[in-house]
Amino acid sequence: MICFLARFFIKDYEQVKRPRVRQGYGLLSGIVGIGLNIFLFLTKFMAGLISGSISIFGDAFNNLSDAASSIVTLIGFKLAGEEADEQHPFGHGRLEYIAGLIVSLFIILTGCEVVRTSVNKIIKPEQTEFNLTVAVILIVSIIIKLLMFQGNLQAAKKIESKTLRSVAMDSISDVFTTSVVLASSIFAYKTGIIVDGFFGVFVGFFIIKTGYEAAKDTINPLLGEPPSKEFIQDVKNKVMAHEGILGVHDILVHNYGPSRIIMSLHVEVPGDQNIVTVHDLIDDIEKEITQQYHCTVVIHMDPVISGDIETEYLKSKVRLFLSQLGPELTFHDFRLVHHDSGEKRVSFDVQVPYKYDLKDDLIIDYLTEHLKGVVPDLTLDIDVDKTLDEEE
């Protein structure tokens, strides 16, 4: 639904990588959400008055909180699209995540209120009424929420927005809760057994669970989460496609909002190449990545000496010692430097999964001991890079 409406209300709606287009999807979602949720609140509130059902009243006020959440989404996307200023040199993109977190808190608070009211209803049960009007209102509500779920989820995937995904998950939870409310009303109507409060407690806890999961999705990028393995691999492929590039490592991605990414990476190049030529190549790669991902990128150049017998010998030893610790350990940025004083300095980085059993210090000590056993006068400079496990 959101993507369909985008054709009419968002200029260049297919260019979702553009910040203004992305912002347009968020604003459109907020406006549509406000209108539909207020409509659902009014109709369900009327159904609650007719039936006297606390679970229907709870569902109605859940939609009212959804309208408030849509307002937060609207404001969040609006502010997140503001340009950088003196106080916020990296822009305001993270306000979108804050908006998503506020939406999640609205969901949790609504669930708590539904549980509280439902418990009172269990303690003091009251007979409810059910008729065709109430049934139609609830069924129409389910259909509208299904459309909102589909629309927001599709838009969330299109612009890669955790906030819109939270809105979509809220909509599908509403589908479930309204279905439960409808089922409890029909059950009470057919059997005369009052289960309104019990169903209301169930609905409330489900709403709380939905809010908690949505909150996790928005807190992670605020704290700092790793980019997807697909993104990292795509960047590597783009860089390695250039002739003269020997390797890529140490890719760091700082997310200041979906439209504001700052990236740094190390690129290995032949050490015997002209430095001006290599610098021009690095500049071209930076421009290509900047245009591709709409980000700021800085590339560090690592010259690599190839064909040196002593270097290749020490590399083979490092490879052997790492294989004894585990096949998941690798290394890169290996460099052997001969100083005028006669000192031999070897430096390299070891890639270690986050969940690896051995501590970083133990890995470094192990490599140091074994390499010095091969070449006693070596000076070693070993760093550890943390990486995700292959299955993660």
Q: What is the pLDDT of residue 126?
A: 67
CB 284 within 8 A of CB 262: no
Regarding whether 286 and 367 lie in a shared domain, the answer is no
On whether both 126 and 256 belong to a single domain, the answer is no
What range defines the domain where residue 56 resides? 2-223
| Same-domain check for residues 296 and 313 | no
| Domain contains 280 | yes
Q: What is the mean pLDDT of the chain?
A: 83
Q: Look at residue 10 in the predicted model and tell me its pLDDT.
A: 86
Question: Domain check: are 37 and 90 in the same one?
Answer: yes
CATH number of the domain bearing residue 115: 1.20.1510.10
Dihedral sign (CA 190, 191, 192, 194): negative
Q: Residue 392: what pLDDT?
A: 45
Q: What confidence score (pLDDT) does residue 258 get?
A: 64
How high is the pLDDT of residue 150?
92
Based on the domain organization, do 245 and 169 belong to the same domain? no
- With respect to residue 45, please indicate whether it lies within any of the assigned structural domains: yes
- Assess contact for 119 and 197: CB atoms under 8 A: yes
Number of structural domains the chain divides into: 3
> Does the residue 187 lie in any domain?
yes
What are the tens digits of pLDDT across the range 319-376? 999 999 988 898 988 888 877 777 888 989 898 888 888 889 999 999 999 998 888 8
pLDDT band at 253 (very low <50, low <70, confident <90, very high): confident
Residue 390 has pLDDT above 60, yes or no: no
The torsion angle over the Cα atoms of residues 268, 270, 272 and 273, rounded to 10 degrees, is -90
Asked if residue 392 is part of any domain, the answer here is no
DSSP H or E stretch at residue 138: helix 132-159
Residue 297, φ and ψ in degrees, nearest 5 = -130, 140
- pLDDT bin (cut points 50, 70, 90) of residue 391 is very low
Residue 186 scores a pLDDT above 90 = no
Interval 3-41: pLDDT, tens: 888 888 888 888 877 778 888 888 898 899 899 989 999
Q: Is 161 part of any domain? A: yes
On whether both 131 and 72 belong to a single domain, the answer is yes
36 and 153 housed in the same domain: yes
Q: What is the CATH number for 287?
A: 3.30.70.1350
On whether the pTM is more than 0.75, the answer is no
Question: Does residue 332 fall inside a structural domain?
Answer: yes
User: Which of 173, 203, 223 delimits the end of a domain?
Assistant: 223
Among 268, 301, 334, the domain-final residue is: 301
Question: Do strands 344-353 and 261-270 pair parallel, antiparallel, or not at all (unpaired)?
Answer: unpaired
What is the rounded distance in angstroms from the CA atom of residue 369 to the CA atom of residue 317?
Answer: 12
**Do residues 36 and 184 both lie within one domain?**
yes
* pLDDT tens sequence across 215-243: 887 787 777 777 778 888 899 999 999 98
For residues 277 and 335, state if they share a domain.
Answer: no
